[in-house]
Amino acid sequence: MVLSVDEKSQIQALDREQPVLPMMPGVPERRTHSYVRHGTTSLFAALDVASGFVIGKCYKRHRATEFLDFLKQIDANVPPDLDVHVIMDTTEPRWSGFCRAGLTTMSTSRPHRHPGSIRSNAGSLN
């Protein structure tokens, strides 16, 4: 199984009863009195391209701690007999010392996990 892992940070967490009324020339955007903004959230997701299976989780912060927790969630959701390759880019949260230590522990505890498959220059794929 090959999992492509990525994240989307700074997603607005909004609470609305009705959609926002769109702007028009000379008229500003309008919201209801009950509109509440709850800050932002970060979504981590893994996609198995072959089957369409998705593992995802939202976090309040975007650090190596959250990323390592998400990798543990992937590990818990994938059957132990599958050979798993995790493809991810090389952004800072993934390669802090804390995260490297966690990845090493995961790969030695389950020999069928290969978290070291890295997609370098991922920005050029957009």
CB atoms within 10 A of CB 110: 15
Residues 44-78: b if buried by 16+ CB within 10 A, e if exposed: bbbbbeeeeeebeeebeebebebbbebbeebbeeb
Domain extent, residue 49, equals 2-8+44-125
Bridge-based pairing of strands 113-114 and 54-59 is unpaired
Q: No. of H helices and E strands in the chain?
A: 2, 5
Q: Could you tell me if residue 37 is inside a domain?
A: no
pLDDT 10s digit of each residue in the chain, 126 long?
Answer: 677 776 676 666 555 666 666 667 887 766 666 666 666 677 788 888 788 888 888 887 777 788 888 888 888 888 877 777 777 766 655 556 666 666 666 655 555 555 554 444 444 444
Domain total in the chain: 1
Q: Could you tell me if residue 24 is inside a domain?
A: no
Q: Could you tell me if residue 16 is inside a domain?
A: no
